[in-house]
A = this chain, B = another copy of it.
Amino acid sequence: MLIKSRLFTPGPTPLLPSAQLAMAAADIHHRTADFRALYSRVLADTQTFIGTKNDVVMFASSGTGAMEAAVSNLTSPGDKVLVVTAGKFGERWKSLASAYGCNVEVVSAEYGKTVEPDAVKAKLTPDVRVVYMQATESSTGVRHDVRGIASLLKGTDTLLVVDAITGLGTTHFDVDGWGIDVIIGGSQKAVMIPPGLAYCSVSERAWKRMETTKNPRFYFDLRKERKNAAKGESSYTPAIALIAALASAFDFIRNMGKGDLAAGRVALVNNAEMCAEMMREAALALKLQLFAPDAPSAAVTSILPPAGVDSGRIVKGFRDEFGAVISNGQGEMKGQIFRMAHLGYFDYMDTIATVGALEQVLGVISLPKHVEFGQGLKAAQEVFARVAGSARNAVASSK
């Protein structure tokens, strides 16, 4: 049979074709007016995509680079910081803050659960300089309550840093309204281009904090990068092709919003929400358990395999039968869950196809007598029909 290679992983995600072409064509030099015009436009679009008036900076790095910047620039050795964690990426904040000599307090929830704002509140003393958290923890598929936690910090001197690497484009944020001081994104996620770019927006009070913090930084120096960004420049050689690709991706998202990038961002989030709901309902109809049923993210859905089955068999089934790469659990969750992504360049047809493939994989490798073909698909179809129907009604009633 013919088998196409497809990614259903929470990053890298499938590449947008127009961005691929833009990347291939990006044969320009970075110390030219052409590049400055491109970069200035991309930075402005990034602001709109994040939904903030705060200045944005960008690094040629993976998302972890911007996470490091949010630690090295905003803390001094010995500073007390609070890390909200319920998975592998929460633990990365802990490692980063420890590496920079912070006094790290942790609020954690078990894998698959979200951290309740009340749990954060209990540990939030006035000497906490920064709270570090994820918007969505892609190792478990959980969404954290960014708004709820942000509201705890109102009127305090504590900064809020949100790793939204898989949250941007899958979660509705009001960055400035809620008071998110730093929010971080990466290129290989909902913006549909390859890895290699990290970006973040930084609030005025976070810029001010940097005037006194003492941790060392050089490549990830936010203030230096901000100064250069204002001129359409980057401090060091930028990832030119990825920036050209990102420009093209923002054009695509703008198109989704009929010429309005902010509206396109909303549409992109709604799309991921719909795909995720299709997948959740399909999994439940196939009598599978969701790993994060209480606060599921729209970026990635984590599903438990049937009892007694290693989730690696599901992952292998997708790869061998369908050329589709889905994710196993990470670290201690390996073998216990499998994860299907919805962030970025996925649509209804991709999602229904993935549900179909899931039925086949389950039917063949684990549940030959339990899966009735069409059950998961029917549930996913009903979600789409309802969501699409509501969208049509909304359009009709606005006319």
Q: Which residues of A contact B (CB under 8 A)?
A: 1-4, 6, 24, 256, 267-268, 270-271, 274, 321-324, 345-350, 352-354, 356-357, 359-360, 363-364, 372-375, 377-378, 380-382, 384-385, 388-389, 391
Question: Whole-angstrom distance from the CB of A211 to the nearest CB of chain B?
Answer: 42
* Count of identical protomers in the assembly: 2
Question: Contact at A356–B381, with CB atoms within 8 Å?
Answer: yes
Question: Contact at A3–B381, with CB atoms within 8 Å?
Answer: no
Q: Cβ of A270: which chain B residues have Cβ within 8 Å of it?
A: 1
Question: Contact at B268–A2, with CB atoms within 8 Å?
Answer: yes
Question: Contact at A345–B378, with CB atoms within 8 Å?
Answer: no
Question: Contact at A381–B353, with CB atoms within 8 Å?
Answer: no
Q: Cβ of A4: which chain B residues have Cβ within 8 Å of it?
A: 345, 347, 349-350
Which of A1, A324, A372: most chain B Cβ within 10 A? A1
* Complex: chain B residue closest to A268, CB-CB: B2
Q: Cβ of A354: which chain B residues have Cβ within 8 Å of it?
A: 349
Partner of A1, one of B274, B352, B381: B274
Question: Contact at B388–A381, with CB atoms within 8 Å?
Answer: no
Q: How far is the CA of A268 from the CA of B356 in the complex (A)?
A: 21
A356-B349, A381-B359 known; A267-B388 Cβ under 8 A: no
Q: Cβ of A377: which chain B residues have Cβ within 8 Å of it?
A: 352, 356, 373-374, 377-378, 381
Question: Contact at A373–B382, with CB atoms within 8 Å?
Answer: yes
Complex A-B: 7 CB contacts under 8 Å: A1-B256, A1-B274, A321-B388, A360-B381, A360-B385, A373-B381, A374-B375
Q: Cβ of A353: which chain B residues have Cβ within 8 Å of it?
A: 348-350, 352-353, 356
Question: Whole-angstrom distance from the CB of A8 to the nearest CB of chain B?
Answer: 10
Question: Whole-angstrom distance from the CB of A373 to the nearest CB of chain B?
Answer: 4
Q: Cβ of A352: which chain B residues have Cβ within 8 Å of it?
A: 352-353, 356-357, 377
Q: Cβ of A2: which chain B residues have Cβ within 8 Å of it?
A: 256, 267-268, 271, 345-347
Question: Whole-angstrom distance from the CB of A379 to the nearest CB of chain B?
Answer: 8
- For the complex of A and B, the 4 pairs showing the least CB-CB separation, nearest first, are A374-B378, A373-B381, A349-B353, A352-B356
Q: How far is the CA of A278 from the CA of B381 in the complex (A)?
A: 18
Q: Cβ of A256: which chain B residues have Cβ within 8 Å of it?
A: 1-2
Question: Whole-angstrom distance from the CB of A390 to the nearest CB of chain B?
Answer: 11
Partner of A381, one of B6, B323, B349, B374: B374
Which of A6, A349, A372, A380: most chain B Cβ within 10 A? A349
A360-B385, A360-B388 known; A6-B349 Cβ under 8 A: yes
Question: Contact at A357–B348, with CB atoms within 8 Å?
Answer: yes
Q: Cβ of A345: which chain B residues have Cβ within 8 Å of it?
A: 2, 4
Q: How far is the CA of A356 from the CA of B274 in the complex (A)?
A: 15
* Complex: chain B residue closest to A4, CB-CB: B347
Q: How far is the CA of A6 from the CA of B347 in the complex (A)?
A: 11
Q: Cβ of A321: which chain B residues have Cβ within 8 Å of it?
A: 388
Q: How far is the CA of A2 from the CA of B266 in the complex (A)?
A: 11
Q: Cβ of A274: which chain B residues have Cβ within 8 Å of it?
A: 1
Q: Cβ of A373: which chain B residues have Cβ within 8 Å of it?
A: 377-378, 381-382, 385
Question: Contact at A1–B322, with CB atoms within 8 Å?
Answer: no
Question: Contact at A1–B391, with CB atoms within 8 Å?
Answer: yes
Q: Cβ of A346: which chain B residues have Cβ within 8 Å of it?
A: 2
Q: Cβ of A24: which chain B residues have Cβ within 8 Å of it?
A: 24
Question: Whole-angstrom distance from the CB of A149 to the nearest CB of chain B?
Answer: 29
Question: Contact at B374–A1, with CB atoms within 8 Å?
Answer: no
Q: Cβ of A380: which chain B residues have Cβ within 8 Å of it?
A: 356
Question: Whole-angstrom distance from the CB of A221 to the nearest CB of chain B?
Answer: 36
Q: How far is the CA of A360 from the CA of B350 in the complex (A)?
A: 15
Q: How far is the CA of A350 from the CA of B357 in the complex (A)?
A: 11
